[in-house]
Amino acid sequence: MQARAPLMAEHRLINKVVGLFKKKMEIMKKNKKADVDFIRGIIDFIRIYADKTHHGKEEDILFENLDKKSMEEKDREDMEELIQEHRWTRKKVKNLEKALEKYAGGEQKSINDIIENTEKLVEFYPRHIEKEDRGFFLVSRKYLSQQEENEMLKEFKDFDSRMIHEKYEAFQKKLAENI
Ligand SMILES: [Fe+2]
Ligand SMILES: [Fe+2]
């Protein structure tokens, strides 16, 4: 199996959730109201699943392995662009969260910032995913042996198995801070 297979399976789930977020956005636009719990759930999904778990495996394992290879200039630039795009999502999610918390605190006009950041994120993910699925992931195969692919698959599993613990360790810390 190619190491990209589990990443591509994760892309499907991300796109499904983003699709639901897009539907929610249309409703928000119409009603000028935000569903705070729904968006808090989305923020958690993007941070823990799409970013920490998924981008985490891409950056810390796949890209890290490729970085050691003598890659063609164009391929290296494409990889760098994907990393920059991951960074961009972190900023947008932070902005979304700020706007959401203001809104939850009673600042009605923050709905505009919520919609604006949501719009950017739902437009971004399918594009980024397509770039990986149909572009960089295919291109990067030429740099990796089957053995390297197998090793990466193992590393992916170890990486994933840490996530649930990290999530709830952070949860405990937050509880302790807010008590
Ligand atoms: Fe990515
Ligand atoms: Fe990805």
Over residues 40-77, the pLDDT tens digits come to 999 999 999 999 999 999 999 999 999 999 999 999 99
Query: Measured in angstroms, how far is the CA atom of residue 154 from the centroid of ligand 1?
Result: 19
Over residues 98-146, the pLDDT tens digits come to 999 999 999 999 999 999 999 999 999 999 999 999 999 999 999 999 9
Query: Measured in angstroms, how far is the CA atom of residue 136 from the centroid of ligand 2?
Result: 10
Over residues 148-175, the pLDDT tens digits come to 999 999 999 999 999 999 999 999 999 9
Q: What is the DSSP string of 86-141?
A: HHHHHHHHHHHHHHHHHHHTT-GGGHHHHHHHHHHHHHHHHHHHHHIIIIIHHHHG
pTM for this predicted structure: 0.93
Q: Which ligand is nearest to the CA of 85?
A: 1
Domain segments of the chain: what residues? 4-174
Residue-level pLDDT at 3: 84
Burial class (CB in 10 A: 0-12, 13-18, 19+), 120: middle
Residue-level pLDDT at 136: 95
Residue-level pLDDT at 70: 93
Question: Could you tell me the two tokens for 8?
Answer: 């591509």
Query: Measured in angstroms, how far is the CA atom of residue 55 from the centroid of ligand 1?
Result: 5
State the CATH architecture for 4-174.
Answer: Up-down Bundle (1.20)
pLDDT band at 2 (very low <50, low <70, confident <90, very high): confident
